[in-house]
């Protein structure tokens, strides 16, 4: 079976981001595969744990790409402290064609554009995809999943994640996709009170979830519990309307948000202070005036570190992004850009970033607790990926075995879903519920 077909059959999606179907990234014209193991968000140790325990599956996945495509070079990108723990060195050859690249422990080192530039010296044009520079980027867990598919024929139904933050014993665990967050927290004896906020993902890019209704998806990298009064949690509660009205009254146009913006420093024509100025000038702004908003990677440096006036350029930009998406508008250019000279001395160490977010004291290396699978129920979402929702192929009351397909990929961009436990099916709108039978 062709590699693309194999990835699609396994239901593989980007394990560390928005859930882009992995098979769809395998395009002609790529000469380099980057494996993003940078984990630049504080408190996250998921990729680190996979690399330290399951390197052979990670390498099998990378080798499958090298052997079945025209890609002949793969670079495993990890931070220097991860490399030290794993006894890996910069440039080390892990297998034929696969080398290690050490990155500084900085934020946001894992941003795709930044990662590609640091690892290869190629700078993706603003608004373009990595493939235009001959690059494909996969997360560590994505190639690990491919390794398991190639060697064991296993589909994606388990998820590795960090459970950390303001908890007594941070952990990394492997759980069935669809595990309810409340069940997971209960099994780890973690109680969440009203003074805390629960995130799916890291403290910078993760989103607030309700632990009573959320479940683990194929893109869940972490469940992080942080004080609601921390900078990290506060930033997530700012909405575009509130941000725009605050900008109107408080922005002094100092340009600090632009000076520190990592995409601006890479030479991208993104200037958050101008986005804020636009918010000040016109509520019914014409979309083309703010089209560079689509170049923002959402790192949050402008709101949490740069601005001393309590303004969130990121939230203002998020408002513009929604407007542009509605109008199907995206920044594109035929011109290359160059990183700005000042970029090298505006690097933000991850430790400093964690302190800024008010969560540095929770950064303890977690223990790996292995596979936790003794949950009575899983709820598998039909749409936790980019593209069309998967289409159920099972019916109410049907019993399924773990690994069995329960939903096929829809036409176009989509992936199938597989049962993550043995059990009985209940169809419930946007998800498939499986009640475990032993
Ligand atoms: S840093 Fe704050 S005050 Fe300065 S330009 Fe940006 S939004 Fe305005
Ligand atoms: S969130 Fe702010 S700092 Fe980060 S890329 Fe967007 S505009 Fe730049």
Position 248 scores a pLDDT of: 82
Amino acid 392: pLDDT:
97
The stretch 380-402 carries a mean pLDDT of 96
Task: Read off the pLDDT of each residue in 206-219 and give the average, rounded to a whole number.
Answer: 96
State if residue 301 touches ligand 2 by the CB under 6 angstroms criterion. yes
| Residue that wins the pLDDT comparison between 150 and 384 | 150
Predicted local distance difference test score (pLDDT) of residue 285:
56
CATH of the domain at 114: 3.40.50.11540
Which neighbouring-strand residues pair with 75? 34, 99
Structural domain for 433, as ranges: 380-438
Same domain, 15 and 128: yes
Task: Compute the distance from residue 353 Cα to the ligand 1 centre, in Å.
Answer: 19
Atom 4 (ligand 1) nearest CA: 254
| Both tokens assigned to 181 | 């967050």
Find the 360 Cα to ligand 2 centroid distance in Å: 21
Which of 133, 152, 171 is the endpoint of a domain?
A: 152
- Is 431 inside a domain boundary? yes
Euclidean distance between CA atoms 49 and 34, whole angstroms: 19
Instruction: Report the CATH number at residue 385.
Output: 2.40.50
In this predicted structure, the answer to whether residue 437 has a pLDDT above a threshold of 60 is: yes
Contact 422, 401 (CB under 8 A): yes
* Centre of ligand 1 from the C-alpha of residue 317, in Å: 13
- pLDDT attached to residue 283: 45
Residues 214 and 317 in one domain: no
Instruction: Give ligand 1 pocket residues (Cβ under 6 A).
Output: 251-257, 273, 276, 306-307, 309, 311, 313
Question: Does 433 have pLDDT greater than 70?
Answer: yes
- Residue 1 has a pLDDT of 64
Among residues 152, 175, 208, the one where a domain terminates is 152
Asked whether residue 277 is assigned to any structural domain, the reply reads yes
Residues 290 and 340 in one domain: yes
Q: Check residue 249 and give its pLDDT.
A: 85
Give per-residue pLDDT as tens, 259-310. Answer: 999 999 999 999 999 988 876 666 455 667 789 999 999 999 999 999 999 9
Angle between helices 140-152 and 46-68 (to 10 degrees): 60
Give domain status of residue 354, yes or no. Answer: no
User: Is residue 7 domain-shared with residue 132, that is, in the same domain?
Assistant: yes
Total tally of structural domains belonging to the chain: 4
Domain shared by 18 and 146, yes or no: yes
Mean pLDDT of 402-407: 97
Q: Is residue 353 part of a domain?
A: no
For 361-375, what is each residue's pLDDT tens digit?
A: 999 999 999 999 999
* Atom 4 in ligand 2: residue holding the nearest Cα: 299
CATH classification of the domain holding 192: 3.10.20.600
Instruction: Kindly give the distance from the C-alpha atom of residue 109 to the centroid of ligand 2, in angstroms, as a whole number.
Output: 13
Whole-model pTM: value is 0.95
pLDDT digits (tens, 9 = 90+) for 26-68: 988 999 999 999 999 999 999 999 999 999 999 999 999 999 9
Q: Are residues 278 and 171 in the same domain?
A: no
Q: What is the pLDDT of residues 308-352, one digit of tens each?
A: 999 999 999 998 898 888 889 999 999 999 999 999 999 999 999
The answer to the question of residue 351 being in a domain is no
What percent of the chain lies above the pLDDT cut of 90? 87
For the CA of 299, the closest atom of ligand 2 is 4
Q: Are strands 98-103 and 73-79 parallel, antiparallel or unpaired?
A: parallel
Three-state SS at 357? helix
Residue 286 has a pLDDT of 66
Cβ–Cβ under 8 Å, residues 44 and 223: no
SS3 call for 242: helix
Report which of 65, 125, 111 is spatially closest to residue 75, judged by C-alpha positions.
65
Q: Looking at residues 13-19, what average pLDDT do you find?
A: 85
Specify whether the CB–CB gap between 271 and 331 falls below 8 A.
no
Q: What is the dihedral of CA 419, 420, 421, 423, to 10 degrees?
A: -30
Q: Interhelix angle for 240-250 vs 272-281, to 10°?
A: 90
- From 246, 375, 256, 254, select the one nearest 315 (Cα to Cα): 246
Shared domain for 9 and 147, answered yes or no, is yes
Shared domain check, 85 and 174: no
Residues 6+ apart with CB under 8 A from 273: 251, 253, 254, 255, 256, 257, 258, 313
Asked whether residue 352 is assigned to any structural domain, the reply reads: no
Residue with tokens 């990677």: 297
Asked if 253 contacts 322 with a C-beta cutoff of 8 angstroms, the reply is no
User: DSSP labels for 89-132?
Assistant: -TT-EEETTEEEEEE-SEETTTSHHHHHHHHHS--PPTT--GGG
For the cut 70, the answer to whether the pLDDT of residue 388 exceeds it is: yes
Largest CA distance in the chain: 63
Spatial neighbors of 224 by CB under 8 A, at least 6 apart, are: 43, 162, 163, 164, 165, 198, 199, 201, 202, 203, 206
Closest CA to 404 of 374, 424, 429, 389: 424
Q: Are residues 196 and 115 in the same domain?
A: no
The overall average pLDDT reported for the chain is 94
Residues 58 and 25 occupy one common structural domain: yes
Asked whether residue 47 is domain-assigned, the answer is: yes
DSSP letter (8 states) at residue 296: -
Mark whether 223 and 365 lie in a shared domain.
yes
Judgement on whether residues 148 and 14 belong to the same structural domain of the protein? yes
Which residue out of 240, 270, 279 has the highest number of ligand 2 atoms within 8 Å of its CB and is therefore the one to mutate?
A: 270
In a domain, 180, yes or no: yes
């Amino acid at each position: 079976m062709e590699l693309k077909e194999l990835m699609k059959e396994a239901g593989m999606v980007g394990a560390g981001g928005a859930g882009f179907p992995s098979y769809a990234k395998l395009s002609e014209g790529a000469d380099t595969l980057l494996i993003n193991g940078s984990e630049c968000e504080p408190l996250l140790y998921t990729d680190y744990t996979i690399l330290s325990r399951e390197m052979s599956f990670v390498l099998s996945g990378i080798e499958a790409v090298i052997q079945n495509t025209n890609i002949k070079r793969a670079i495993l990108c990890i931070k220097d402290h991860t490399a030290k723990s794993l006894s890996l060195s910069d440039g080390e050859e892990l297998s034929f064609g696969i080398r290690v690249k050490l990155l500084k422990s900085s934020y946001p080192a894992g941003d795709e554009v930044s990662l590609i530039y640091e690892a290869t010296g190629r700078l993706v044009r603003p608004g373009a995809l990595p493939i235009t520079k001959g690059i494909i980027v996969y997360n560590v867990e994505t190639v690990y999943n491919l390794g398991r598919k190639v060697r064991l024929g296993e589909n994606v139904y388990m998820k590795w994640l960090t459970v950390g933050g303001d908890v007594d014993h941070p952990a990394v665990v492997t759980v069935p996709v669809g595990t309810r967050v409340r069940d997971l927290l209960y099994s780890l004896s973690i109680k969440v009170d009203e003074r805390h906020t629960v995130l799916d993902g890291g403290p910078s890019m993760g989103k607030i979830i309700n632990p009573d209704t959320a479940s683990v998806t194929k893109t869940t990298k972490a469940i992080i519990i942080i004080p609601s009064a921390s900078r990290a949690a506060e930033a997530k509660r700012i909405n575009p309307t509130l941000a725009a009205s605050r900008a109107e009254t408080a922005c002094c146009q100092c340009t600090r948000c632009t000076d520190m913006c990592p995409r601006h420093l890479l030479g991208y024509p993104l200037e958050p202070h101008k986005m804020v100025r636009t918010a000040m000038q016109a509520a019914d702004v014409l979309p083309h005036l703010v089209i560079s908003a689509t170049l923002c990677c959402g790192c949050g440096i402008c709101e949490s570190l740069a601005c001393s006036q309590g303004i969130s350029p990121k939230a203002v930009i998020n408002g513009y992004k929604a407007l542009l998406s509605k109008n199907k508008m995206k920044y594109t250019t035929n011109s290359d850009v160059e990183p700005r000279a000042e970029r090298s001395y505006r690097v933000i160490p991850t430790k400093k970033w964690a302190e800024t977010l008010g969560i540095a004291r929770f950064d303890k290396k977690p223990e790996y607790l292995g596979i936790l699978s003794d949950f009575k129920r899983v709820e598998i979402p039909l749409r936790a990926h980019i593209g069309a929702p998967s289409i159920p192929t099972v019916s109410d009351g049907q019993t399924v075995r773990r690994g069995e397909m329960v939903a096929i990929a829809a036409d176009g961009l989509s992936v199938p879903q597989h049962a993550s436990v043995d059990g009985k099916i209940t169809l419930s709108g946007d998800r498939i519920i499986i009640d475990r039978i032993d």
